[in-house]
Chains A and B, each alone.
Chain A
Amino acid sequence: MITFIPRDKVSKNWIIIAPILSIVFTIFFGLLIFTFLGYNPLETLYQIFVSPFSRIDRISDILVKACPLIIIGTGLMLCFKSNVWNIGAEGQFIMGALLAGFIALSFPNIETKFFLLITILAGFVGGALWAFIPAILKTKLNVNEILVSLMLVYVAMLFIDFIVRGPLRDPMSFGFPLSKPYPDGALINKIPFPGIGFLGQLHYGILFVLLLIPVSWIFVNKTLGGFKINVLGSAPQAAKFAGFKQNSITITVLLLSGGLAGVAGVIEVSANIGQLQPEVSFGYGFTAIIVAFLGRLTPVGILFAGIIIATVKLGADNAQMTMGIPKVVTGLFEGILLFFLLTGETLQKYKIKWSEGKK
């Protein structure tokens, strides 16, 4: 039997040493695996960690990839901090994109970019409504929100599938499941840099992230709402005695995280796809769970965690393009990285105690 016992005091040194050790272990095992499989280990590590930063347009690709992860992760942070386990951000992302897409396609000739405010708001509402279902079931009937939110992901996937094959299918698409292209007013443009032009796919959606990080930091650290969330998560009894209404906090954090996931969906589709298709998310909602925890449930941490995860994903693609390393191998390496990072963090807070199991 292994039991984890909380440490009385978290050593300040270990806060710095633990992540470094995790990285060292990751690199060591990475070298071992790549060598064993017959790839040049140093070049592989270079491709995964360094090559994504080797050109300015590649850096912008990292930001584009990290953008939805950070937005969703920030919303999930609010849930996880207050011990509400929203696993269904993927579905909320899809429903946000879908509601915004429905509105965008209803005004085929609109050109003004102010229209984006409406579609983004629609995305928030779509995602929030989808998260409202587990919220209301949890607070009224005490139904487990993990199960409900997760299962609603599959409902959302099938729903968007149905919509783009049926009601919103472009009649000119030869029967393929695609909606019409969005009107100009619903598209998020790429950012033109004077003298350089576009940098990869870097788009204005990134501004939302730049806004979101400070706002969420202030909300969590400087407002009563953020305080309530913190207390509810770390000391539920204290929250009860303080008279905080647990149900209303639960509903609020679910609505906020669902809404943010929905906004991420709108930004992703409006900036990078430009129409509705059966698949719009590619697992962002699930990856963002890792991002939230890797970022230690803090806004700034999530910003960096999103960038790390995005970097490794792009690095894996580069390793494949230049060295022919299959995705399964780089996926294994990603797993090792997460394992050591999370182990390091856990061991920093907990002691392991080995005890004999009862016979």
Chain B
Amino acid sequence: MIKFCMRIFSLIALSISVLFFVISSTFAGSPTKVGFVYLTTPGDHGWTYAHELGKQMVEKRFGKDVKVSVVENVPEGPDATRVIRELAKQGNEIIFTTSFGYMEPTLKVAKEFPNVKFEHITGYKRSKNVATGNIRFYEGRYIQGVVAGLMTKTNKIGYIGAYPIAEVIMGINAFAQGLKSVNKDASISVIWANTWYDPVKEADAAKVHIAEGADVLAQHTDSPAMLQIAEKNGAMGFGQSTDMSAFAPKAQLFASINNWGPYYIKKIEELRNGKWNTGDGPNHWPGNVWGGIKSDMLVISKFQNMPANVAQKAQEALDGIKTGKINIFAGPLIDNTGKEIIPAGKALDDGALWGMNYYLQGVNGKVPG
């Protein structure tokens, strides 16, 4: 008898709690819960800071209609799996995981929570509820190449790369294409920092470049350290991910700014309208966003510390990319050993960009590994 009563009682309790859940989730104006996972802290003034600015745009745009939770400093591994799962458990409806290494953890958790939407930033694996987002960073690097080619006096460009992966290599090659379009004598030397964020190592690499005679520096790492060294030594450089002119008012020529806000807002809006989806098919291609200058995901800051004619050339390159007049990887493309990659009249497609493991003409040395 007691057992029976207990059962009835728990049934009632259960139905009440279900009722409350239904009411609370259909109640008009209940905020959409959005989760963000950061690799470092916004204090990096680079990659994660750019995501933080995007998050702030989300909060500004939606106000009380969203509730945002953030976890920073999450290492790429089991901790990420745990944190993402926890965010899903706490009722977040869409979760942005903002580093490449969160790919497998995101997919793993997504399988357990089929009703939660996941947006993985810079990955290539998608599923029914995992979409991916990335920025065509290389477009900004082409413009950097143009400016560097016109500004350099020593014809030596120092480039600091994080890791020799396709994303970084396509950036170096885009830079080389821009450089070649204005200055055939200049060449790029690359130092690999083997880290995305380590101000000390980045500064050391910048010092080596300057000691070897480079007068324009570029980076594919996250901290402002390189620009600070450039500022001290009278060299020039480009800001990464965010506007870094505060760190190097005299050295920053311009910055390529990652503008995640519009992408976040678009995806959250889709979710709220019930339109979020990654399509069918094995690759879920519709779930992939790879936007650049045209779609406002990559923003070029104002051209500074350069003569008017250089700024004008830079503006032309920017406009060319925006209108599609400039195709950065149009043939003929020849790698730096003389091998033809693609003949005139053709151009590399997105798939070929992700397979890049060679340097184009204008870059010294060879890709490690």
* B87: contacting residue among A65, A268, A274, A321, CB under 8 A: A321
In the complex, whether B347 has a CB less than 8 A from a CB of chain A is no
- A320 near B354: Cβ-Cβ < 8 Å: no
Q: Report how far A314 CA is from B81 CA in the complex, Å.
A: 13
Contact B78 A321 (CB under 8 A): no
- A268 to B73 CA separation, bound complex (whole angstroms): 20
Cβ B78 vs Cβ A175 within 8 A: no
Contact partners of A272 in chain B: CB under 8 A = 77-78, 81
Contact A274 B104 (CB under 8 A): yes
A240 at the interface (CB under 8 A from B): no
What's the interface size class on A, roughly? 20 to 34
B165 touches A176 (CB 8 A): yes
CB distance from B176 to the nearest CB of A (A): 18
Interface 9-mer from B64-72, B242-250, B324-332: B64-72
Is residue A334 within 8 Å, beta carbon to beta carbon, of the partner chain?
no
Q: How many Å lie between the Cα of A280 and that of B104 in the bound state?
A: 14
Beta-carbon nearest neighbor of A166 in chain B: B369
Task: Give the segment of A247-255, A258-266, A323-331 that binds chain B.
Answer: A323-331
Is B289 engaged at the interface, CB distance under 8 Å to the other chain? no
Known contacts A166-B369, A326-B41: A177-B78 contact under CB 8 Å: no
Out of B75, B167, B354, name the residue touching A279 (CB < 8 Å). Answer: B75
Minimal beta-carbon separation of B67 from chain A (angstroms): 11
Would you call A165 an interface residue if the criterion is a C-beta within 8 Å of the partner chain's C-beta atoms? yes
Task: Give the contacts of B337-364 with A (CB-CB under 8 A).
Answer: 354-357
Nearest chain B CB to A218 CB, angstrom units:
31
Contact B82 A200 (CB under 8 A): yes
B124 touches A282 (CB 8 A): no
CA distance A275 to B125 in the complex (A): 16
- Whether A175 and B166, one on each chain, are in contact in the complex, defined by CB atoms closer than 8 angstroms, is yes
Minimal beta-carbon separation of A162 from chain B (angstroms): 8
Given contacts A175-B357, A177-B163, A200-B85, contact A282 B79 (CB under 8 A): yes
- Residues of chain A lying within 8 A (CB to CB) of residue B355: 174-175
Distance in angstroms from A350 CB to nearest chain B CB is 36
Given known contacts A165-B164, A176-B100, A327-B41, A317 and B78 CB-to-CB distance under 8 angstroms? no
Cβ-based interface call for A246 (8 A): no
A90 in the interface, Cβ–Cβ < 8 Å? no
How many angstroms from the CA of A273 to the CA of B198 in the assembled complex?
Answer: 25
CB of B253, distance to nearest CB on chain A (Å)? 29
In the complex, chain B residues whose CB is within 8 Å of the CB of A280: 77
Q: Mark A156-181, 1 if CB is under 8 A from B, else 0.
A: 00100110011001000011110000
Residues on B with beta carbons closer than 8 Å to the beta carbon of A201? 78, 81-82
Inter-chain CA distance A200–B108, complex, in Å, is: 12
**B76 in contact (CB, < 8 A):** yes
Asked if B194 is at the interface (CB within 8 A of a chain A CB), the reply is yes
Chain B residues near A176 (CB-CB < 8 A): 100, 165-166
Whole-angstrom CA separation of A280 from B79 in the bound complex: 11
In the complex the two chains form, what is the Cα distance from A322 to B74 in whole Å? Answer: 15
* Residue interface mask B87-128, A partner, CB < 8 A = 1: 100100000000011001000000000000000000010000
Cβ of B86 under 8 Å from chain A: yes
Residues of A within 8 A of B79 (CB): 282, 317
**A318 B165 Cβ-Cβ under 8 A:** no
Q: In the assembly, what is the distance between CA of A326 and CA of B72, in Å?
A: 7
Residue of chain B at shortest CB distance from A55: B89
Q: Residue of B at shortest CB range from A313?
A: B79
**B334 contacts the other chain (Cβ, under 8 Å)?**
no
Partner of A321, one of B71, B76, B101: B71
A177 to B82, CA, bound (A): 22
CB of A273 within 8 A of CB of B78, answer yes
A100 at the B interface (CB under 8 A) = no
- Judged by a CB distance under 8 angstroms, whether B83 is at the interface is yes
Q: Mark B182-206, 1 if CB is under 8 A from A, else 0.
A: 0000000000001000000000000
* Alpha-carbon separation in the docked complex, A333 to B229 (Å): 34
Q: Determine the chain A residues whose CB is within 8 A of the CB of B78 once the complex forms.
A: 64, 201, 268, 272-273
Bound together, the chains give a CA A320 to CA B354 distance in angstroms of 35
Instruction: Chain A residues near B167: list those with CB within 8 A.
Output: 175
Chain A residues with CB under 8 Å of B164's CB are 165, 175
- Is the pair B357, A277 in contact by a Cβ cutoff of 8 Å? no
Contacts of B81 in A (CB 8 A): 201, 272
Given A165-B163, A175-B165, A175-B355: A321 in contact with B77 (beta carbons within 8 A): no
The reply to whether the CB of A61 lies closer than 8 angstroms to some CB of chain B is yes
Given contacts A200-B82, A201-B78, A201-B81, whether A317 and B71 have CB atoms under 8 Å apart is yes
Q: How far is the CB of B80 from chain A (nearest CB, A)?
A: 10
Q: Are B86 and A277 in contact (CB under 8 A)?
A: no
Decide if B166 touches A174 in the complex (CB within 8 Å): yes
Q: B41 to chain A: which residues have CB within 8 Å?
A: 326-328
Q: Are B354 and A61 in contact (CB under 8 A)?
A: no
B77 lies within 8 A of A320 (CB)? no
Contact A175 B354, beta carbon cutoff 8 Å:
yes
Closest residue to B79 on the A side, CB-wise?
A282
Residues of B within 8 A of A166 (CB): 369
Contact B166 A320 (CB under 8 A): no
Q: Report how far A200 CA is from B356 CA in the complex, Å.
A: 39
Q: Nearest chain B CB to A238's CB is how many angstroms away?
A: 44
Once the chains are docked, how many angstroms separate the CA of A166 from the CA of B167? Answer: 17
Chain B residues in 8 Å Cβ range of A275: 104
Q: Are B165 and A320 neighbours in the complex by a CB distance under 8 Å? A: no
Enumerate the 6 nearest inter-chain pairs by beta-carbon distance, A residue then B residue, closest first: A272-B78, A175-B166, A327-B73, A282-B75, A165-B369, A175-B165
Pairs across A and B, CB under 8 Å, 9 listed: A174-B165, A175-B354, A177-B163, A201-B82, A277-B77, A317-B82, A320-B71, A326-B41, A326-B72
Q: Chain A interface (Cβ within 8 Å of chain B)?
A: 61, 64-65, 158, 161-162, 165-166, 169, 174-177, 200-201, 268, 272-275, 277, 279-280, 282, 314, 317-318, 320-322, 324, 326-328
